[in-house]
Structures are given as structure tokens and as C-alpha cells.
Amino acid sequence: MSAVDLEDRLADFVVGHPLSDVPAEAGLTAQRVLLAVAGTGVAGADEDGIAELRALLLERGGTPQATSLVFGDRLPAVAAAQLNGTMCRALDFCDAMAPGPHFGAALVPACLAAAELRGGCGGADFLAALVVGCEVGARFNLSERQYDGFDPTGIAATFAATAGAARVLGLDALQARRALGLAFNRCGGSFQSHIDGTLGVRLLQGHVAAAGVECAQMAQRGLTGPLNFLSGVYGFPHLYGRGTLPPADVVAGLGHEWRLQRMMFKPYPSCGATQGLTQLVLDLVHELDLRPEQVATVLVRQPPYSHKLVGHPFKRGANPRVDAQFSAAWCVANALVRRSSQLSHFKPEQITDPAVLALVARVTTEGDPAMDTRGHTAVDIVLTTTDGTRHARGLDIAPGFPGRPLSAAQHLQRFSDCMAYAPFPLPAARQQALRDGIEALADLPDVRTLLAAMVR
């Protein structure tokens, strides 16, 4: 394959790959992304920063092109995607992929805004856009070493949102290539937002959703970015792949090998790097009928990449939900005290519960380079009880990740948990209509009915 063919192959896939050639399991994954994002978007409408961002975007004004979730504001399409993407990531309970990109919370808002710009979009076309977006994002996903501190959402998900919006808007192949080139120039973001416990985590998701719409709109108007974003001397493989990503790998097997199947869905509403340790602690709690007062110490070992993300000492800052979501020690303590891990546990007033904080002080975390060979989600814990008994547990694949997927019932339960937590609840009939519409997405006449179901 000639290097100059790479960008065209990718663009042709974005605009032309037929839904009929998508395997059923890949389509189901895309529907589950939509279900997860619909739930977390409605549930995240009152989280920190949402009211302020909404007020700012309303103050800016502009042509009313698209709708905000829950509130029903009419905003420019880029602004609607930004607000909706931020809401959809606020609970950190959406889909993800190792080692960290979140596609759906940017892709779905970008595609919904594009559907409104287009004047409507049939469910089959929308599903094809979600599949294409997830697959393109997965193909730009990098390794831990290549990211080296970049927020993967700000890199890979930018391509996902742009590809999805381009498909919904009906761009041709040349326009799609230009849109993806523009997306390449919008990549960025740092994991420092997570470590510092800031709203930058969710705000970046909104920026990515907005960039997806904007890049597609610009390309539709003839504006251009780097055309050789894969094969060029300063293209993606050089800048973000750090010279270790063969350009042809991005499109290898395109349309036949479905990398979106590497996506994961969390059983617990915290960082992906805390899913395994939460599961291990809960297993011990229920196996031993363990009570907090019986716990002397807990040692958590993780690969260095995960440890850097969630292994730092816990402290409550200005954004306590983020502090807790990205703290291994807090997630361990919460599971021990509350014997579960639920959305309500991460409310700011719950995070400084003295019973939880007392246990946080007994948790030690370590990064172990030897664990890299076991995979991104590997984790070991050693829990010592007050009588001196040591209980060691470990796993290589966290629940919800490929190899340990959630069941269909668990996906529905995640959605129900979000609806129960939502600060502006949807009527039961609206919730059912939303679920039914997503389940029968390919037969839906217009996806704007789903959007209407998510407005209070």
C-alpha cells in the first residue's frame, strides 16, 4: 500500500462504509455507547461547572441551531455539542477504552448537533456515524508510552467526533479528509487535569465534541487543514505516535477488523483505573462480611501508568467528585465503608464522610513496573485485618473491559442508575421511550426524537 493512499482510505471509510457491512456485535457496541451517554448526560446536568458553562454559552448567543440536553436551550451547533459533551462526561460513567480515551461523550453530542444542522437524521444513518466514529477513534488510540501524559480523549476522541459529524452531515470523501486534517490540528489535553482534580477533565470532553462539529462544518465550507496527517513528515505518527507508530497501522484491516470492540463500560462511576481495585475490595467485603473497623491496612499495587493517574495521595480540592473519581485510596475506602460504589457516593457532601476519610489514611498505593506485562487494568491488593490476617487478591482484566464485558442486564442497570440519580428526572414514559428508541435505533425515522426525550 502506498503511503499517499492512507488518508483517502480513511476518508472513504468515514463517508461510505455501509451499515450493512458492519458486524452485528460492532453495531451493538455503538448502541451501548449511545445508551451509556444518554444516561450519563441526563444524570450529569447539575454537576460542578455545568451551570457556569451553560450561562457562558447562552451569554455568547448565536444562531439557534441545536438543542442542549435536559435544558432544551437552542444554541449554535458547536456550543450545544460543547455543553452536552461536558455534561455527558461529568460523572465519568460513560464508555472508555484503554489506556484512557472516552469517545461516546464527545461523539454522540457531535452527531446529535450535526443531525439538527442537517434537518434530521434517520436512525440507520446515525448508527453508521456512531460506528464510524468509534472505529476511527479506536484507530487513532495510542499506547500508554506514546501518550506519555497527553489526555487520550483530547487526541483520539477528536478524530472520533469529527468522523461521526462528517458522516451525519453527508460530507464527501475530500471534505472528510479535510475535516480529519483539521481535527489533527485540534488535538491536545493533559492528564494533569485528572491528577489536579479539576473540571478540565469534563471540559476537555466538551471541547472535543465542539471540535468535531466545527471541523466538519469548516471542511464542508472548503476550509482545509493538513491533508497528509498520516503520511506527512510531521503527521500524527510522528507527533503523537512519537515515531513508533507505522502510518499504515491506522488503516490496516479497515472495514474488516473492528477495533471499537476494545471499548469498555464501567460498572462503577469512577476512573477506569479504579474499576479493578473497587471490584477486588467489594469481593473481599462480601466474602468475609468485612466491616471497616476490621481493616488495619490496604496496599494497592498497579502498573506505573495507572498509578500515576490514581495513586497520588487523596485530598479534597475545589472539585471533590473529580478528586474522588481519580483516587485509588478513596475508592478503596468508599467500597469498604459503603459496601458498594454508586453515583450518589461521589456527591461532594459524601466525599468527606469521616468514616471514609479514616480508611483513606490506611490505604497505601504503589506503582510496580513489573505489572506492565499483565495489562493496563492489572491490580493487586493486600488487605490486612486488625487481627493480623493478610488477604491478597489480584486481577489482570477489570470488569467491563474486553475479556470481562458487562451483560445486557448490567448495561440496562447502568442506565437505570443514571435515571435514578438525575437531578432533573425524566418521566418514566420518557425513559422507556429513550431506551426503546436506542434499542431499535436502525429503524428510527429521525434521531431527533431521542433528543426530545432527553429534554425535561
pLDDT in tens, 305-355: 999 999 999 999 999 999 999 999 999 999 999 999 999 999 999 999 999
Residue 202 has pLDDT above 60, yes or no: yes
**Residues 430, 436, 439, 442: what is their CA dihedral angle, to the nearest 10 degrees?**
-100
Confidence of residue 272 (pLDDT cuts 50, 70, 90): very high
Q: What is the DSSP letter of 455?
A: B
- Is residue 247 very low, low, confident or very high in pLDDT (cuts 50, 70, 90)? very high
Is the alpha carbon torsion for 400, 405, 410, 412 positive or negative?
Answer: positive
Confidence of residue 373 (pLDDT cuts 50, 70, 90): very high
Q: Which CATH architecture has domain 3-266+406-453?
A: Orthogonal Bundle (1.10)
Asked whether the predicted pLDDT for residue 256 surpasses 90, the reply is: yes
Whole-angstrom distance, CA of residue 440 vs CA of residue 423: 27
pLDDT in tens, 418-456: 999 999 999 999 999 999 999 999 999 999 999 999 999
**pLDDT range class, residue 230, cuts 50, 70, 90:** very high
User: What is the C-alpha to C-alpha distance for residues 17 and 309, in angstroms, rounded to an integer?
Assistant: 37
Q: What are phi and psi of 430, to 5 degrees?
A: -70, -40
264 bridge partner residues: 96
Kindly indicate the confidence band of residue 142, based on its pLDDT and cuts at 50, 70 and 90: very high
pLDDT value, residue 279: 98
- Does residue 391 register a pLDDT over 80? yes
What pLDDT is stored for residue 349 in this prediction? Answer: 92
Give backbone dihedrals phi and psi of 76, rounded to 5 degrees, phi first. Answer: -55, 150
- Between CA 118 and CA 349 the distance in angstroms is 43
* 77 three-state secondary structure: helix
pLDDT average, residue stretch 173-179 = 98
Strand partners, 394: 380
The string of DSSP letters for 364-389 reads EEEE-GGGGGG-TT-EEEEEEETTS-
Distance CA 376, CA 57 (A): 37
The per-residue pLDDT for range 106-133, each reduced to its tens digit, is: 999 999 999 999 999 999 999 999 999 9
Q: Which residues pair with 395 in a beta bridge?
A: 379
Q: What is the pTM of this model?
A: 0.96
Exposure string of 420-450, with b = 16+ CB inside 10 Å and e = fewer, is: ebbeeebeeebbebbbebbeebeebeebbeb
pLDDT over threshold 60, residue 2: no
Q: How confident is the model at residue 3 (pLDDT cuts 50, 70, 90)?
A: very low
Measured CA angle at 339 (ends 337, 345), to 5 deg: 70
**Span 234-251, average pLDDT:** 97
pLDDT at 290: 97
**What CATH architecture applies to the domain 272-395?**
2-Layer Sandwich (3.30)
| Overall average pLDDT of the 90-102 stretch | 96
| Predicted pLDDT at 195 | 93
Average pLDDT of the segment spanning 154-174: 98
Residue 7 pLDDT: 98
Residue boundaries of the structural domains of the chain: 3-266+406-453, 272-395
SS3 annotation, 296-347: EEEEEEECHHHHHHHCCCCCCCCCHHHHHHCCHHHHHHHHHHHCCCCHHHHC
Nearest 5°: phi and psi at 382? -125, 110
Round the average pLDDT of the chain to a whole number and report it.
97
pLDDT of amino acid 1: 42
182 sits in which H/E element: helix 173-184
**Average pLDDT for 145-172:** 98
Provide φ and ψ at 70, rounded to 5°: 65, -55
What pLDDT, on a 0 to 100 scale, did the predictor assign at position 289? 97
